[in-house]
Homo-oligomer: A and B are copies of this chain.
Amino acid sequence: MSEDKTAEIVLSLEIDDPALADRLAVLLSNVAGLRLAAPGETAAATIVARDPRIMPEDIALTQRELDVLALMAEGASNKMIARQLGISVHTVKFHVGSLLDKLDATGRTDAVAHAARRGVIEL
């Protein structure tokens, strides 16, 4: 093997739609310099396609709610968020309440999970 300048790029597939996965697998199997990962093999990159029907409408969050949400995702308590943003704990609770409402969540943990799922925040 020595100096194979065109080292293969290993790709893995994580696609919900079996038909799409199949078509891609066929197409990609014929590309030189590229290979699909064997089961358990570590890939250089992953082809993902999650069910798109999940995020039709994006949530309308105010800037302040996004601020609070971001800090929540870092595991900050209401008190820490209040200090960070220079506002009172009551106000933080107010925004958290709005977030739980808009994100249809039962608690702050659920809220960041939902937000992450919908791409509102990046973990």
Interface on A for B, CB 8 Å cutoff?
A: 9, 11, 15, 20, 23-24, 27-28, 30-34, 42, 44-49, 52, 72-75, 77, 105-113, 116-117, 123
How many copies of the chain does the oligomer comprise? 2
Q: Are A48 and B49 in contact (CB under 8 A)?
A: no
Q: List 21 A-B contacts (CB under 8 A).
A: A9-B20, A11-B47, A20-B44, A27-B31, A27-B32, A42-B52, A44-B49, A46-B48, A46-B49, A47-B48, A73-B109, A74-B113, A75-B106, A75-B110, A75-B113, A77-B106, A108-B109, A109-B109, A112-B113, A116-B123, A123-B123
Q: What separation, in Å, do the CA atoms of A11 and B48 have in the docked complex?
A: 10
Whether A45 contacts B34 in the complex (CB less than 8 A), given A20-B9, A113-B75, comes out as no
Measured CA separation A9–B46 after assembly (Å): 16
A9–B75 CA distance with the chains assembled, in angstroms: 39
Question: Complex: how many Å from CA A72 to CA B113?
Answer: 10
Pair A9/B23 contact, Cβ less than 8 Å: yes
CB nearest to A6 among chain B residues = B23
Which residues of the other chain, B, contact A108 by a CB distance below 8 angstroms?
109
Instruction: State A66–B23 Cα separation when bound (angstroms).
Output: 34
